[in-house]
Structure 1
Amino acid sequence: MRELLSELRDWHTSGTPFALATVVAVRGSAPRAVGAAMAVRADGTVAGSVSGGCVESDVCEVAAEALTTGEPSLRTYGISDDDAFAVGLTCGGTIEVLVRPYVSEPDREGLRALVGLVTAGVPVAVATVVSPEASLGAGRVVLADRADGSLGDERLDAAVTDDARELLARGAMASHRYGAHGERRMRDVTVFVQTFAPAPRMLVFGAIDHAAATARIGSFLGYRVTVCDARPAFATRQRFPTADEVVCAWPHTYLESADVDARTVVCVLTHDPKFDVPLLAAALRTPASYIGVMGSRRTHADRIARLREAGVDEESLARLAAPVGLDLGARTPEETAVSIAAEIVRHRRGGTGRPLSELTGPIHHHTRQPDA
């Protein structure tokens, strides 16, 4: 839903009724992951996507019906044995889509508040009943210090709140089954938990042309991008207009006080030992998921030797992606940024980095890390 925030804010402001369709389950190969969303206005205007085109037309019809009845609906879409191009997923997977209308003022106000929290970067989870049908669409909004709304039972609310906070801490989404009163070993109620953690961070060190291109593609991928360099003439807003933050500081000093978690990616583009060695020693003490380092093989061999002298162990050194990027034959800063981004996506999603035309089996991999 994050990509729909602008449209949802505008539609709220204008008082336009709409329905929101959300992928709540995926089985097999599917073009979009759980949490993918599409909003449909009463006049047929569409924003977002739930399948990349396979089932959108039918979802629009379901949305129109929901806007008329005021009732939510859960639809399952999968490949058709008789006609693979009928309404369904020709890729062979199955998705479940929850369609909820936002017509009444209480519903619209609740979603408006959620949009405000997500926009402000407040970690929040939304738990929604997707079965049984009698409780379909019942929701609970969970934050670190409070929860609002009810799924119909206090003990169920408590169990779901605990699980939602655990998922929120990991930035993950999932469906859980419970008994009617929150029992863990029963399957009467299925609840989909969608989390909205702040955007993951991309830390780019070295304010060079390659950094400008990397910052642009990092923003495109949904990262909150920080560019850091110790040289005042290079670390300027004018050089990095798309970055969320430009910092003039010694890289290792900045990193030691930065907020780094398991979704953070670090791109070290300085290839200068006086910056790289203390910076990488600090980076390898963080839980960052990806640490890419620019430089020739000779430069990297010298860098590794210096890091060993600084006391960095072999297990930590193995975390470094160096030379940074996939082998695309990149030459320009923009091509190099694509190469770096491709390696980050491969690391995050678990791909091979090989041409799909050379492979067999599922195109879509199970996600290694939670979405941005």
Structure 2
Amino acid sequence: MGFDLEVLRETVKTHGRVTRVVIASLRGSSPREVGAAMLVWEDGQTGTIGGGTLEFQAADSARRQDAARILSHHALGPDLGQCCGGAVSLLSEVYDAAAIAELDQEIIARPVAEAVQPISVTRLLAKARGQGVLPEPQLIDGWMIEPVHRPARQIWIWGAGHVGRAMVDVLAPLPDLAITWVDTGAGRFPADVPAGVTVLPAAKPAELVRHAPPEAEHLVLTYSHTLDLELCNRLLSHSFAFAGLIGSATKWARFRSRLAALGHSPALISRITCPIGRPDLGKHPQMIAVGVAAELLQPAQHETRQKDMSA
């Protein structure tokens, strides 16, 4: 969890003035943790601080907010009629392009109640920058501290057809994923691409494989079996944490034979997962996307991939 500076920047670019509402502190039970945030603008919002009455009232207040920064306190049971029974403090801050330009790129520390930076904050920031250990989001001695969010996982989606679009729609809102989306031309992508998704049109997509981080996870979903095969071939010659190919058992049998003919060993070829997702859910694009997302997000499988990378 952290301050998602990239999503804020893209949201301000699209909608102008945006209010960011973050859970600054909590006591007892709460629907979300400290650092959970949402962005609110005149006619929309994204992210969540837990839903329900708290979020509804916070969004309404954010749209009417004039002050640059407001810290408010809410008892979830008595004040809002929610079942959590705890209490939260919300920090609501208004951002535009100029305000974003002034933000630090690693740790965002700003005064909420005390203008002068207290020694506790000075020490925390010095330790973080000296030892490289970023602090948890927290409200400390009148200052709000949040590390800038860095996605933990790199997801490359190859193909912007119906399944590729469904995959992006399902995965883009999830935390800790940086998505790179590749297809053969700009016209293959929708007009509205979710914030935080990097679009890469390329006449020869397979040429981009060498630029993917070695820890990236790949979903091969293109319109062309020839392109799918070439991507698999390039991936097997390049480090990756996971590679999944859309298709049937028949397609995969044919691909295994052709990849072997290209010089790849059976053990290496077996690192590609095909088919991907949950075939029992059906072939509707959204069902495929839900199944693949569930597979990607299973902690045990993610840990296995990390072990494979370090082996």
TM-score by length of 1: 0.54
Task: Say whether residues 1:47 and 2:48 are aligned partners.
Answer: no
Is the partner of 2:182 in helix, strand or coil?
strand
In structure 1, the partner of 2:243 is 291
Counterparts of 1:31 and 1:218, CA distance in 2:
25
Is the partner of 1:254 in helix, strand or coil?
helix
* Aligned partner letter, 1:175: E
1:301 is displaced (CA, Å) by 2.8
In structure 2, the partner of 1:338 is 286
Task: Say whether residues 1:86 and 2:93 are aligned partners.
Answer: no
Q: Which runs of no fewer than 5 residues in structure 2 stay unpaired?
A: 173-178, 194-198, 307-311
Contact 2:215-2:241 at 8 Å conserved across structures: yes
User: With CA pairs under 8 Å and 6+ residues apart, which has the higher RCO, 1 or 2?
Assistant: 2
**CA shift in 2, pair 1:265/1:137, >3 Å:** farther
* Aligned partner letter, 1:53: G
* Aligned partner letter, 1:22: V
| C-alpha distance after superposition, 1:8-54 (max 9, x if no partner) | 45544xxxxx753114579989479944323377xxx7633422334
Task: Say whether residues 1:194 and 2:133 are aligned partners.
Answer: no
Task: Say whether residues 1:111 and 2:63 are aligned partners.
Answer: no
In structure 1, the partner of 2:297 is 349
* Aligned partner letter, 1:299: K
| C-alpha distance after superposition, 1:229-265 (max 9, x if no partner) | xxxxxx44444455833322272x4312x23354543
In structure 2, the partner of 1:358 is none
Task: Say whether residues 1:161 and 2:142 are aligned partners.
Answer: no
In structure 2, the partner of 1:247 is 202
Contact 1:126-1:195 at 8 Å conserved across structures: no
In structure 2, the partner of 1:213 is 162
**CA shift in 2, pair 1:73/1:278, >3 Å:** same
Counterparts of 2:116 and 2:50, CA distance in 1:
21
**CA shift in 2, pair 1:293/1:3, >3 Å:** same
Identity %: 14
In structure 2, the partner of 1:73 is 71
1:99 is displaced (CA, Å) by 0.9
Is the partner of 2:39 in helix, strand or coil?
strand
**CA shift in 2, pair 1:46/1:166, >3 Å:** same
TM-score by length of 2: 0.62
**CA shift in 2, pair 1:279/1:101, >3 Å:** closer
Task: Say whether residues 1:204 and 2:151 are aligned partners.
Answer: no
Counterparts of 1:75 and 1:175, CA distance in 2:
20
Contact 2:12-2:96 at 8 Å conserved across structures: no
Q: Which runs of no fewer than 5 residues in structure 1 stay unpaired?
A: 13-17, 118-123, 139-149, 168-173, 181-187, 206-210, 228-234, 353-367
Task: Determine which of 82, 88, 91 is the counterpart of 1:99.
Answer: 91
* Aligned partner letter, 2:203: C
* RMSD between superposed Cα atoms in Å: 5.2
In structure 2, the partner of 1:355 is none
**CA shift in 2, pair 1:8/1:270, >3 Å:** closer
Structure 1 segment 131-142 matched on structure 2, within 5 A: none
